Amino acid sequence: MSAGKVVVSTEEISQIQEPVKNLPGPAPSAGGRLPSPVPWWGRIGLSFLVLVLPLLCLIAIILRLAFRNEPPRIRYAWVSFLSTLMIVSGFLTTASAIILIFAVPAPVIVGSSLPDLDERSEFPQLPAKADLNSSEVSRDLKPLVVVVSPATRMWRSQESASNMIGAGVLLFSDHDGYLFATARHMVAHGGGIFGGSSAHEMIATNSGVWASANIVATARSADLALLWIARHTGDTPFVQPIAAPRDGENVFVIGHPEDLRFSLSTGIVSGLRGETLQVSAPISPGNSGGPVYDDRGNLIGIVSSKFDDQQDPNAENLGFAASAQMLLNPSAWAYQKNGKQLLQDYIQKAGPDHQAPANSN
């Protein structure tokens, strides 16, 4: 016997006066909606997990297994809520990763010494007895130049090199350590997103391994600073002679223009501007703090700046350096730690036996 088709019209339904009561499950709200199967305390508690995506994923797996035997309505409500949380957490985690990648410098190996210099058995004898050509300057004087970068603080107070680089030059070496000169504006940018200012500077030789040096002095009226780093092995001495600059003489500049490490450029002293030298040798960002040598290897200046060609695009080869004569004036400096004693030791070592005679302009 086949069952007949039963059709119920809307008119018949409207004639039903008695509402259906005592249906199982939660009662509808005033708006006709059923209450959410996810309780308020569960929403609040799990919402904090958007900050920790791996933990949120683990909780989602556990709840998915716990609710596998529940009615579909409860399962779907929890799945929808957890999916929303994981989407929000994914956006937050991605944004945090991007910020860390672009705002925090890549970790580098930072030591407390410069093995390249520690292992040297000899340094060039300066001043040279005869004029040096470009090849000889590159061979003998480039090893005396280092890469300098302001220290930036990372997590757990660790220090790393920043994105800003310049140059520095070795002034003297003994069994205790090394004294370097650089530009003051290269040490005025310490700090980082995880901490305050730093009293250290990062130094690297041609090997690329960074070491942390102490800022021991800054010149009051010139763009000069002194850095000190202790020596771990060896005792090979070195003293950099200083000479008074002569207008029109040949000069050699060593630095890292546009991050092209240990580049050599040549020119002349274009003019003497008080305690500042004007040089024609090409200078770019990355040369700051680098040495200006004469043709005997005497230090006559420390690169400080170049003319901003945005002010006048026609300006060319207008570079400036602080006179190295400032290194022989201990009263012109503000000292930190044992900086005063270190500078006095250098002045004594760079005395008549090592200092080139001053030449009249």
Are 118 and 91 part of one and the same domain?
A: no
Using alpha carbons only, how large is the chain's radius of gyration in Å? 36
Would you call the peptide bond into 241 cis, given omega within 30 degrees of 0 as the criterion? no
Query: Is position 150 within any domain?
Result: yes
Provide φ and ψ at 336, rounded to 5°. Answer: -130, 145
Are 70 and 123 part of one and the same domain?
A: no
Tokens of 261: 């490490």
| 224 close to 181: Cβ distance less than 8 angstroms | yes
Q: In terms of C-beta density within 10 A (0-12 exposed, 13-18 middle, 19 or more buried), how is residue 182 classed? A: buried
Query: Is position 223 within any domain?
Result: yes
Which pLDDT score is estimated for 359?
45
Question: pLDDT by residue (tens digit) across 37-79?
Answer: 788 887 888 888 888 888 888 888 888 888 888 888 888 888 8
352 vs 106: CA distance, rounded Å: 46
Question: pLDDT by residue (tens digit) across 87-113?
Answer: 888 888 888 888 876 665 555 567 778
Q: pLDDT category, 354, cuts 50, 70, 90?
A: very low
Query: Is position 355 within any domain?
Result: no
Are 215 and 330 part of one and the same domain?
A: yes
Which pLDDT score is estimated for 70?
82
Query: Is position 307 within any domain?
Result: yes
Which pLDDT score is estimated for 84?
87
Is residue 303 predicted with pLDDT exceeding 50?
yes
CATH number at residue 226: 2.40.10.120
| CA dihedral for 116, 356, 300, 316, sign (positive or negative) | negative
Domain boundary among 99, 121, 146: 99
**What's the average model confidence in pLDDT over 201-209?**
90
Cα 99 to chain centroid distance, Å, stands at 15
Are 87 and 156 part of one and the same domain?
A: no
Are 173 and 95 part of one and the same domain?
A: no
Structural domain including 47 reads 37-99
Query: Is position 30 within any domain?
Result: no
Query: Is position 2 within any domain?
Result: no
Are 69 and 121 part of one and the same domain?
A: no
Are 212 and 70 part of one and the same domain?
A: no
Are 261 and 323 part of one and the same domain?
A: yes
Are 239 and 310 part of one and the same domain?
A: yes
| 262 close to 206: Cβ distance less than 8 angstroms | yes
Are 307 and 202 part of one and the same domain?
A: yes
64 vs 66: CA distance, rounded Å: 5
Q: How would DSSP label each residue in 308-326?
A: -TTT-TT--S-EEEEEGGG
Are 190 and 310 part of one and the same domain?
A: yes
Tokens of 110: 């930072």
Query: Is position 319 within any domain?
Result: yes
Question: pLDDT by residue (tens digit) across 231-290?
Answer: 989 999 999 999 999 999 999 999 999 999 999 999 999 999 999 999 999 999 999 999
Query: Is position 271 within any domain?
Result: yes
Are 51 and 183 part of one and the same domain?
A: no
Select the more confidently predicted residue: 137 or 355: 137
Would you call the peptide bond into 330 cis, given omega within 30 degrees of 0 as the criterion? no
Domain count, the chain: 2
Other C-beta atoms within 10 Å of 48: how many? Answer: 11
Domain boundary among 76, 99, 122: 99
Question: pLDDT by residue (tens digit) across 8-43?
Answer: 666 666 666 555 555 455 555 555 566 777 888 878
**What's the average model confidence in pLDDT over 184-211?**
73
Other C-beta atoms within 10 Å of 49: how many? Answer: 19
